[in-house]
Structure 1
Amino acid sequence: MMDFLKPSLSPDVIAIIVALGIGLLIGLERERRKGEGPGRSPAGLRTFAAASLAGAVSVMVGGKGLLALVTAGIVAMTAIAYLRSRSDDPGLTSEIALILTVLLGGLATQRPLLAAGVAVILAILLAGRAALHDFVRKVLSEGEVKDGLIFAAATLVVLPLLPDRPVGPYGALNPRAIWIIVILVMAIGAAGHVAIRLLGARGGLAISGFASGFVSSTATIGAMGARGRKAPELLGAATAGATLSTVATIVQLVAVLAATNLATLQSLTIPLLCAGAAAGLYGAIFTVKGMRETSAAELQLGRAFSLPSALLLALTLSGVLVLAAGLRDAFGEIGLLVSAAVAGLADTHSPAVATATLAASGKISSADAVTPILAALSTNTLSKIVVGWVSGGRSFALRLIPGLLLVIAAAWAGAVGPDVAHQMFRR
């Protein structure tokens, strides 16, 4: 009944059609750029189509050995043509694309969908030459390029080398899991950096503060306080940015908990939703005031993320994991609560991940992880209050502190409220 949906062409015919389509697709893009006159590129629409067909036919006739000979011949002819016709432009894009087209034609005989997909990606890269060049030369800064290389090295080089097993005192450390959290923090920081670059002051200090909060909420509060102290007319907007950076902290906390232990995140869903809603509401109030202030200047952009901060997070997280495991071994759940609260003075995420890791390993339940994580969030808020007062002065602190206290109160209410309501209804 559904036979008409089945392909009636033989695999060889399909391979030839795909190979021809690959050559025409890439050749069409190259034809538009080959130029005119004696200095024009020798490879265009027909050359790329023929090269792709040559790759497919060679595999059909003589297998991979003949494909290798044909590819070598194309490489030799391409090199000769390049040496004879090269101009002031030393680029090898067309030459490399021609060689790859031959290989894609051969690949089409065995994996036509993969070959077609790679051809589309290649065509997009070729067509996006100007946009890619402008992005690298005019949009990206030198620091951002370095950060990209650092992130690539952390993800592609360091991560595969780390063992994925418990090590260290009490078996509390998993190097691979710790490094994944570091990579996640760097990635979120880079996302916040991109948001700042795209939105700038046009989105107001509120949006900039929210985006900066992904890098460091405490640092953002310090920067907003300094801005509010320097320009009192921006106190409302600076307060909005500082408060909304706490929303970023909560979003980041959700991300790292999701990557560590989903059961712990589920137990914290209501408290984190309440805290995020409180921060968003308080920030929205001051955002309205900030939108009326048109003199807000652009925030100074730094690096996409801080490598020292990421490495410090790894060290802190390792120490917190060992401390939490040791205190729990000695004092039970009370020791875990104390260690999380103390670690929260410096960073929320380290004790949160440490506690969630204990829950993931079965050493504590996900419900028992709620109180230590909220304790860390509370003590971290105390640090933010101190930073806000020192950087922004009394006027800024009086605007900021009620919002931060509201966030913590909402989080604890979200944790305790359902149990209280359940007890009341039982009566």
Structure 2
Amino acid sequence: MELTTLELFKNFALAILLGALMGLERERSGGRFAGMRTFPLISLTGAVSALLGDLTGNHWVVAAGLIGVTILAVTGNLLQARRRPDPGLTTSIAMLIAFGVGAMAYFDQAAPAVAVAFVATAILYFKPHLHAFSHKVKQRDLYAVFQFGLVTFIILPVLPNRNYGPFDSLNPQHIWLMVVLISGLSLCAYVVLKLVSGRWGGPLIGLLGGLVSSTATTLAFGRKARQDPGLSRTAAVVVILASTVLMVRVVVEVAVVNPALLRHLWLPSLLMFLAGLAVAALVWRRTEKEREMAPETKNPAELTGAVAFGLLYGVVLLAVSAGMHYFGREGVYVVSLISGLTDVDAITLSNARLAGTGVLEPLQARNAIVIAVIANLAFKLAAVRIIGTAPLARWTALGFAAIALAGMASLLI
């Protein structure tokens, strides 16, 4: 690998800077035997080892340098063990990563080196938060994550990738891929919700709860408002935002399945999102004080839920195809109206897929998705009125009406 002097200095400077970044974090946290000076030297050692190995044509030089850093890390840990019963391995592992980052910088792998250094620094910095999160995770949550791995890496690859059933509308592997998409999206939001709940208040809980499940969030906070009517207005903010962020979820799903459909869907989604956001902000400004409201959201990656969604998605896909075949455009809209009452994901994904295969026109798919969202709002408003309080229902009705009117107006543009 031939480098000019300028390129060589640039790569060495990058190695030193990335090492300094990691060392700064260790110094700030009271690193026991390596900090602001040691880490840049370790990353520089990695770059120098890579240079010597490149010049001599013997890349064992890099391995020898890594072994040397490993010996230093082990020695430092043993010395710390004399003073502390549990010295920890975090700093030692970080030293090895710093060496590798330096070697990557020399070999002109700037982007991977920066990414590794920043991720490692973030892990080091958020140590207290990660420990707190580990205490929040329950056994059923871990079990559900393992089930998500089963859904993604075991079941998906073995399913046949061909069409079956009436109208050739059922593809087992594609249906299960949608299960993986929804479970993965919901699981990511669920993890973030676990990290921030109880510290960031109603608005953020509403946004994240909507990404996990807007219906489940609505029902949970409807019950909370019933138990404590003083929470009605804050609960309304959560419920409105949960349905507002549903439009973000819809856009992500369509972007994955049929990106071309976004040309027709972006305006309704944006208008409905902004309408819900405006009403939520209005309600939030009128809220006298915020109270902690820990959400009760079920882990979305459980296998039973995944199978149930897969079956629902298959039924909706078949129903939309049949509706289009026998009744034309009106049949598609009726199916969207009915299925959207309880679930928007299935109808969104099915319409996006059918628009991508040419079964539906893009405008038909867009209209059907908006109808499904509006139907879902009506169902959730009825649920809030039944299980919640009258003030919660009034504020929720205002927010949902704004979202629905924005959606209907966008269809006329």
The one-letter amino acid paired with 1:389 is: R
Distance 1:254 1:110, change over 3 A: closer
Cα 1:84–1:146 change in 2 (3 A) is same
The DSSP-based 3-state class of the residue aligned with 2:364 is coil
Number of the residue aligned with 1:422:
none
Choose which of 5, 9, 16 in structure 2 pairs with 1:9: 5
Q: Report the equivalent of 1:57.
A: 52
- The amino acid that maps onto 2:252 is A
**Which moves more between the two structures, 375-384 or 297-306?**
297-306
2:18 & 2:204 partners in 1: Cα distance?
A: 47
Q: Distance in 2 between matches of 1:258 and 1:214?
A: 16
The amino acid that maps onto 2:128 is: D
> Does the CA-based 8 Å contact 1:172-1:321 persist in structure 2?
yes
Counterpart secondary structure, 1:307: coil
- Residue correspondences, number: 394
With over 3 angstroms needed to count, the CA separation of the structure-2 counterparts of 1:404 and 1:133, relative to structure 1, is closer
Q: Deviations over 1:387-412 (max 9, x none)?
A: 11221155543554454345334422
User: Residues 22 and 104 of structure 1 are in contact (CA less than 8 Å); yes or no, is this contact kept in structure 2?
Assistant: no
Partner of 1:158: 152
Partners of 2:73 and 2:193 in 1: CA distance: 45
In the alignment, structure 1 residue 183 sits paired with structure 2 residue 180: no
Instruction: Give 1:151 deviation, angstroms.
Output: 6.0
Query: Which stretch of the first structure deviates more once superposed, 103-112 or 242-251?
Result: 103-112
Task: Give runs of aligned pairs for residues 147-226 of structure 1, distance below 5 A.
Answer: 154=148, 158=152, 162=157, 165-169=161-165, 170-173=168-171, 174=174, 175-191=176-192, 196-200=197-201, 205=202, 208-226=205-223
Q: Which residue of 2 aligns with 1:124?
A: 121
Residues in 2 aligned to 1:340 and 1:47: alpha-carbon distance in whole angstroms: 60
2:133–2:195 contact (8 Å) kept in structure 1? no
TM-score, structure 1 normalization = 0.72
Per-residue CA deviation, residues 33-67 of structure 1 (Å, 9 max, x unaligned), is 4559xxxxxx8876775565345323422422454
Gaps of 5+ in 1: 1-6, 37-42, 419-427
CA distance in 1, matches of 2:39, 2:151: 39
Structure 1: how far apart are the matches of 2:365 and 2:188?
26
The farther-off stretch of 262-271 and 79-88 is 79-88
Q: Judging changes above 3 Å, is the alpha-carbon distance between structure 1 residues 61 and 22 closer, same or farther for their aligned structure 2 residues? A: farther
1:300 corresponds, among 287, 291, 294, to 294
Other-structure match for 2:317: 321
User: 1:381 and 2:377 equivalent?
Assistant: yes
CA distance in 2, matches of 1:298, 1:343: 34
The within-5 A match list for 1:24-39 is 25=20, 33=31, 35=33
Cα distance in 2 for partners of 1:46, 1:140 equals 33
CA distance in 2, matches of 1:346, 1:302: 19
* Higher Rg: 1
The equivalent of 1:260 in structure 2 is 257
Query: Equivalent residues in 2 for 1:108-123 (5 A)?
Result: 110-111=107-108, 113=110, 117=114, 120-121=117-118
Distance in 2, matches of 1:98 and 1:207, equals 36
Identify the residue that residue 329 of structure 2 maps to in structure 1. 333
CA root-mean-square deviation: 4.4
Whether the 8 Å contact between 2:206 and 2:238 is mirrored in structure 1 is yes
Could you state the TM-score of these two structures normalised by the residue count of structure 2?
0.74
1: CA distance, partners of 2:263 / 2:15: 53
Q: Is the 1:143–1:303 Cα contact (8 Å) retained in structure 2? A: no
Percent of residue pairs bearing the same amino acid type: 19
Change beyond 3 A, Cα 1:55–1:152: farther
Secondary structure of 2:338's counterpart equals helix
Corresponding position of 1:40: none
What is the 5 A alignment of 1:348-427?
348-394=344-390, 396-401=392-397, 403-415=399-411, 417-418=412-413
SS of 2:88's partner is coil
Determine if contact 2:43/2:101 at 8 Å carries over to the other structure: no
Contact 1:22 1:119 in 2 (8 A): no
**Which amino acid is 1:220 matched to?**
T
Letter in 1 for 2:188: A
Q: CA deviation at 1:139?
A: 5.0
What code does the residue aligned with 1:300 have?
A: A
Q: Which residue of 1 aligns with 2:137?
A: 143
Which whole-Å CA distance do the structure 2 matches of 1:47 and 1:406 have between them? 58
Deviation at 1:310, TM superposition (A): 5.3
- Higher deviation after alignment, 267-276 or 349-358: 267-276
* Counterpart for residue 424 of structure 1: none
**2-structure distance, mates of 1:118, 1:405:** 44
SS of 1:111's partner is coil
User: Which has the higher mean CA deviation after the structures are superposed, 83-92 or 172-181?
Assistant: 83-92
Q: Distance in 2 between matches of 1:403 and 1:249?
A: 13
Counterpart in 2 of 1:286?
283
Match of 1:242 in 2: 239
Mapped contact 1:172–1:325 kept (Cα < 8 A):
no
Which amino acid is 1:184 matched to?
A: L
Q: Tell me the CA shift for residue 100 of structure 1.
A: 5.1
Q: Is the 8 A contact 1:229 1:391 kept in 2?
A: yes
